[in-house]
């Protein structure tokens, strides 16, 4: 993009409350969304594909201007001239992903006159014997939530496979250019009496203070986000989803319950534990007018619940408690009325880390998404020459101990589980997730007594 373009070529607006929270979080490490692809062949088409995404979604060519405490979003009228020269690398795909996700271009002390772009991309040549290439797209979370990342990934696969972006009606969507989440919620759905807001704020604060966490390993060191993957094959995934349906819960509640049980088991203690779970909800359908997932921006909210876990608890009883807790909150529209409260508390924790346990900035044990991403793209993936892909985000500034980005890929469960290191170690998280996998496997077996 030509930074010498006149002022008339730019359109700008103030960020909304949720976008502001991500602008405050990003310099500390939380607030980078990543789309990562491992390509079986060179990435010659990658540059054109990323440019096409920016042409289709004007919010992806936005710049963040001002400071993290007083930001604005500025949108140029034309897409930037992105250049993706492949760089040789000695690292494998996983190691590159962990390096790229922690490359924080928004933490710079002296921003450019036009501000920092919300999108950065990098292309690497992978070493033998695997070879191929790796494409990484880093997007500021203020303009790209989980559903948007999934939609962009699908569009990217189509572009790399030789197709277009898709439906002409979404080729130049401008929802996030025009207004953020809070401006799009119906007033009757966001209304909340002042005294109720005060009671809820106190409740969230007290619940946060009494909640347990995974043990912290190194608290006073610089942190980064790392990833461990949890996978189930198609047969085990089918059994798990069938068990969820039989027990009247969503997959997210089963994942949250299994994680809490695994965390409880890892402590080898007879004491009852209290854990917090953040369930992230896509609000597009509740907005006025409703949006679809191709409307790139940040349109998620969170429902936070605490649960007491003891030795006798079983998977499905706890999963039902998780399901009922967030469903009741959602039925009462707390995913819409509490957005302002949670944004306020998030910013206060960023400013005062000592308000959280061991100043760790952990807001919950685990965060899960209400709906998993579902991809049935094996044919398109083959055409695009994509051997693996991951959509995830950073969590090491402020966030949960484990953030589960779950997807169903051609029938199999694939979760990218992000965690802050060295606050937690890879060994520690791997052990917890190994327990999660065992709990889910045993709970999905029809002969298991937990099903009764």
Average pLDDT of the chain is 88
Evaluated on CA atoms 348, 222, 415, 293, the torsion sign reads positive
80 and 33 together in one domain: yes
d(C-alpha 140, C-alpha 118), whole Å: 5
Position 383 in a domain: no
427 and 324 together in one domain: yes
**Residue 171 pLDDT greater than 60, yes or no:** no
Instruction: Please identify which residue in the block is written with the tokens 């950073």.
Output: 394
d(C-alpha 61, C-alpha 41), whole Å: 27
What local confidence, expressed as pLDDT, does residue 70 receive?
86
Please enumerate in sequence order all residues whose Cβ is within 8 A of that of 324, keeping only pairs 6 or more positions apart, or say none.
none
What local confidence, expressed as pLDDT, does residue 451 receive?
40
Chosen domain end from 182, 204, 226: 182
CATH for 246: 3.30.559.30
189 and 171 together in one domain: no
Position 384 in a domain: no
330-389 pLDDT tens trace: 999 999 999 999 999 999 999 999 989 899 999 999 999 999 998 887 777 888 889 999
Helix (H, G, I), strand (E, B) or coil at 416: strand
Position 138 in a domain: yes
Q: Which of 24, 102, 38 is nearest to 418 (CA)?
A: 102
29-86 pLDDT tens trace: 999 999 999 998 877 789 999 999 998 999 999 999 987 778 999 998 877 778 888 8
pTM of the model: 0.92
116, two tokens = 């920092």
DSSP 60: G
319 and 360 together in one domain: yes
Chosen domain end from 182, 217, 242: 182
Position 397 in a domain: yes
417 and 319 together in one domain: yes
Position 360 in a domain: yes
Q: Report how far apart, in Å, the C-alpha atoms of 426 and of each of 215, 389, 403 are.
A: 13, 21, 14
CATH for 67: 3.30.559.10
Position 382 in a domain: no
**Residue 196 pLDDT greater than 90, yes or no:** no
What local confidence, expressed as pLDDT, does residue 380 receive?
76
Chosen domain end from 130, 158, 182: 182
212 and 145 together in one domain: no
The whole-number average pLDDT for the span 75-99 is 89
| Structural domains of the chain, count | 2
Please give the residue range of the domain that contains residue 337.
183-376+392-451
427 and 414 together in one domain: yes
Position 4 in a domain: no
**How much of the chain exceeds pLDDT 90, in percent?**
67
What local confidence, expressed as pLDDT, does residue 197 receive?
66
212 and 319 together in one domain: yes
Lowest mean pLDDT among 7-16, 53-62, 104-113, 344-353: 104-113
The answer for 102, left when phi > 0, alpha when psi is -120 to 50, beta otherwise, is alpha
76 and 96 together in one domain: yes
Cβ(373)–Cβ(146) under 8 Å?
yes
d(C-alpha 108, C-alpha 237), whole Å: 43
**Residue 216 pLDDT greater than 70, yes or no:** yes
40 and 130 together in one domain: yes
226-260 pLDDT tens trace: 999 999 999 999 999 999 999 999 999 999 999 99
339 and 210 together in one domain: yes
163 and 280 together in one domain: no
């Amino acid at each position: 993009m030509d930074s010498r373009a006149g002022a008339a070529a730019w359109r700008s607006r103030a960020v909304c409350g949720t976008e502001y929270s991500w602008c405050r979080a990003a310099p500390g490490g939380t607030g980078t969304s990543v789309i990562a692809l491992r390509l079986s062949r060179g990435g010659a088409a990658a540059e054109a594909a990323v440019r096409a995404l920016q042409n289709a979604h004007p919010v992806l060519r936005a710049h963040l201007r001002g400071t993290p405490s007083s930001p604005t979003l500025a949108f140029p009228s034309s897409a930037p001239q992105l250049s993706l020269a492949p760089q040789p690398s000695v690292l494998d795909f996983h190691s590159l992903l962990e390096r790229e996700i922690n490359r924080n271009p928004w933490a710079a002390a002296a921003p450019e006159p036009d501000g920092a772009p919300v999108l950065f991309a990098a292309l690497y040549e992978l070493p033998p014997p695997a070879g191929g290439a790796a494409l990484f797209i880093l997007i500021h979370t203020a303009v790209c939530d989980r559903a948007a990342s999934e939609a962009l990934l699908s569009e990217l696969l189509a572009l790399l496979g030789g197709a277009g972006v898709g439906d002409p009606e979404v080729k130049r969507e401008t929802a996030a250019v025009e207004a953020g989440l809070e401006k799009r919620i119906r007033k009757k759905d966001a209304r909340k009496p002042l005294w109720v807001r005060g009671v809820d704020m106190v409740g969230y604060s007290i619940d946060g203070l009494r909640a347990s966490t995974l043990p912290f390993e190194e608290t006073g060191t610089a942190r980064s986000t790392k990833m461990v993957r949890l996978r189930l094959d198609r047969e085990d995934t089918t059994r798990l989803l069938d068990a969820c349906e039989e027990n009247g819960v969503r997959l997210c509640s089963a994942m949250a319950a299994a994680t809490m049980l695994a965390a409880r088991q890892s402590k080898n203690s007879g004491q009852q534990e209290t854990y917090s779970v953040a369930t992230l909800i896509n609000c597009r359908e509740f907005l006025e007018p409703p949006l679809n997932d191709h409307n790139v921006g940040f349109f998620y909210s969170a429902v936070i619940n605490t649960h007491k876990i003891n030795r006798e608890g079983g998977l499905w009883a706890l999963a039902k408690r998780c399901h009922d807790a967030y469903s009741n909150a959602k039925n009462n529209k707390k995913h819409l009325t509490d957005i302002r409260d949670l944004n306020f508390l998030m910013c206060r924790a960023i400013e005062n880390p000592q308000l959280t346990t061991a100043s760790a900035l952990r807001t919950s044990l685990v965060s899960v998404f209400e709906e998993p991403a579902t991809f049935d793209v094996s044919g398109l993936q083959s055409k695009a020459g994509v051997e693996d892909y991951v959509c995830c985000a950073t969590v090491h500034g402020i966030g949960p101990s484990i953030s589960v980005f779950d997807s169903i890929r051609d029938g199999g469960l694939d979760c990218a589980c992000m965690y802050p290191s060295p606050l937690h170690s890879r060994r520690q998280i791997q052990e917890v997730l190994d327990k999660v996998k065992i709990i889910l496997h045993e709970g999905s077996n029809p002969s298991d007594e937990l099903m009764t």
